[in-house]
Amino acid sequence: MDLKTKLYQMFILGTEGDGYIQALEKGLGGMIFFTKDIQSKDQFKNLVSDVKSKALIPPFLSIDQEGGRVERTENIHNGKKYLSAKYAYEKGEDFLRNQTKEIALELKSYGLNLNFAPCIDVNTNPNNPIIGERAFSSNPDEVIKCEKIVSQTYRENGIIPCAKHFPGHGDANADSHLTLPEINLPLEEMEKTHIKPFASCAKTIEMIMVAHLHCTCFEKDIIPTSLSKNAISYLRNKLGFGGVIISDDMIMAGATHVALQHKLCQNLSNHSNSLAQKFATCEMGIRAGLNMFIYRNSTPETINIIETIAQKALTDKELQEKIEYSFEKINNLKSKFELINLLV
């Protein structure tokens, strides 16, 4: 398999823009589906089946289906069907386990294989605008207990779980969809509370999503943890996580914010060029140690980012090594869940 195909494996794209069709034929790693993609059971099953038929390599077929505020199947159910993490856990462990199984079986019935859940943020800030009821608890030990229940239930029912949002979004006072939140807590305090659930599951969870947060315990400069060598190295080396590290959606303002301010872009010949800035951000993520990226669209601009990196990697040994390493992680996970036989 050539390097470009392996690079395409590092991306999960949405349907907006229709570039995903060409990308699937080039080895795209996966697809993510949103509410707008899901109008009815039959329609969605047909969409997923069509994606599978076009894929050069069996893809991750993913969704954000936490329940409550983050639930993508509401058009099918004429509203929300599942409780958010907080309220599901308040009904007891058996309820949480049963609801998770119901979610898993529904996703499986559509042909999906990856859910970006559980959300294991510890919601310590009551004014947090983005987490709130998405968190199981404000107590890290309770969150750890819930993570074990939810992740194992997904595994048992053929859905890959993904713990999010490392190193913990629970103390944020802003929405990373709209800006880059800052968390100004010392590492020791982060470890006692927000990182604790990730440390607990690091040896068992298959995938971890890294947040677009500026955590000053990892970076003094304005760099989100999703693009931070220090944060990702901590996850790999200190916590011992051996699975796939994936970004949150790279279209979010928390990710694009850095492209406008980081010194990396000072070296670009055209600072105002949106593609150049977004390319620089994505390249920075690869060099920092991200294995996969989510882009909620598949516009020509997003496809061009991948193609530009592929071209640069031809003569860049570090990029080549990062792509090979990431492909190995992705390949191992797909093989574990029998999406593919091991590829070379």
Residue 36 CA, distance from chain mean position: 19
Smallest CA-to-CA distance from 37 within 22, 9, 17, 56 is with 17
Catalytic residue among 248, 249, 257, 262: 248
CA–CA separation, 336 vs 206, rounded Å?
Answer: 10
Contacts of 322 (CB under 8 A, 6+ apart): 286, 287, 289
Q: What share of the chain is helix, strand, coil (3-state, %, to 5)?
A: 50, 15, 40
Instruction: Look at strands 207-210 and 244-249 and give their pairing.
Output: parallel
- DSSP-assigned states of every residue in 134-199: GSS-SSHHHHHHHHHHHHHHHHHTT-EE-EEEET--TT-SS-TTTS--EE---HHHHHHTTSHHHH
Do residues 256 and 248 lie in contact, with contact meaning Cβ atoms separated by under 8 Å?
A: no
Of the CA atoms within 13 Å of residue 294, those in its CB half-sphere come to 28
Does the annotation count 271 as an active-site position?
no
Does the annotation count 50 as an active-site position?
no
Contacts of 243 (CB under 8 A, 6+ apart): 205, 206, 207, 208, 329, 333
Residues labelled as active-site residues: 177, 248
